[in-house]
A and B are shown apart, each in its own frame.
Chain A
């Protein structure tokens, strides 16, 4: 009895010693920091982002045999460029305030010693947090803030993968011009937008881009968000009967517009909804059946079966328990893999080497989760290949219909509605 116990203890000790030795020999951990809104107004988005990060780290650390066939970083066993170092995500809460964002960024840099940062969803927080990273000289990747001036600050450590508002406007412009060339009528265009910052700024970016590109916006209908009734606006549209209507609205208004247009029995030939409320699962679930053929934009579309995007989407559904990747979570996950790829190529966690590797990033579309033309940064740190897909609502699901090269379904016009 005594003997067996002693043997067991010895064996145990040997195992532990061996385990430690193995750990010390081969592995090291690469910490990547992420500062996202885990509480406050955007907590839901932040928590979906957190799941995307955890899934990304899991893919690199533990691998996925199916995905590994087309996606080299999914082989498992950590980052090959760093002798199999595992990735550890250190996620902090920015509480939706620029102050907390900057404070947490400082903590991740100085206490957690992260090799790089991915941050912060809200543009306002990205401003203060990236300023801290810039002062410390730590690579900082932003995956989803669209404020144009973020890349105009002369920062050396700032990289942004997402397209900005002007890119979305350009996408609509090219899309509509293509329709015009194909013989569709796009002569009169109306923009209906909610009248605070979001609606006003997007609306002016779109109309500027259209005017420069040779399409003119013939009417603008601003309205107060979350109002009880949008009949006056829809009647105004019905009277002028434009060929194309572009909506910039939050969820509740999006639902109201869809209902009211059906009640008043009016629809344009092309109905575009700029992301926002019309992409919310609450909208597609409730209003999908009466908005068949609605056009929107998203950087994410499931893509063809067997593609990186489709397989990541399936993994994400498993992670979240049903919710697939969407416009935001796809951008977040893409940001994560851009950073992981750069650290892997740098073969080091030294900031200057990671920065150099980020600058040299050149990812091809077939390696991407988001529907960009690639990832390649200019001198300001903006991804010059960032672009968006035009999607269309079919049977309550958005599918990619433009550009043709990445379309999974044919475009169906005119707008069907109900």
Chain B
């Protein structure tokens, strides 16, 4: 790691101010992606502005079916929230399967979404839940937020302060993990809400997280694993690496989607 200046922000406004001052200042929340990149000297920000101690960005609110989660809420906090589990167990399950206990106690939902790693879990949930991403400047629909590999609609100085969504009637997440990193090779989040079924896939798309519209259509007609029979995402739009070819990923998407539907229906 190169030497740099560390700042602990006390509020969102403070964070924005601190980030502006730095020459090449970066926000850090849990640091689960940025710190390893810095340790291997692949990232060298001049300043780090730590968002992990901002009280206004923490906590989970559930009111009826409406859920709001602060951007600074850790995966462990999401995983263990009883009220959230009562309305959206798929999301608490997802959070409980991110990384390992160390990661879950440091990493945050806002950090994960803002980073938009193509193999991260939360982006699939946000897309499938039709969530709204709340920043210090505006509210952005998940469909508009994730724009590519590690790319989002966020502008410089913009911070994900929280997310909100309406809990779906049925939902489930199924992940196929990379045997080494245990990131998703394929993760499929299926959610059945009042406007129909949404299916989002992470880990596989060559442009990051995406919705499987064909599967959504079939499942809106009949929410059952059998509806996905013969449906596959073409390999041409999928990533290929030493751990999983595009063909393998394509097959896994259908398998994971079927399993998610079965789980959501159970």
Partners in one complex: no
Q: Which B residues are closer than 8 A to A by beta carbons?
A: none
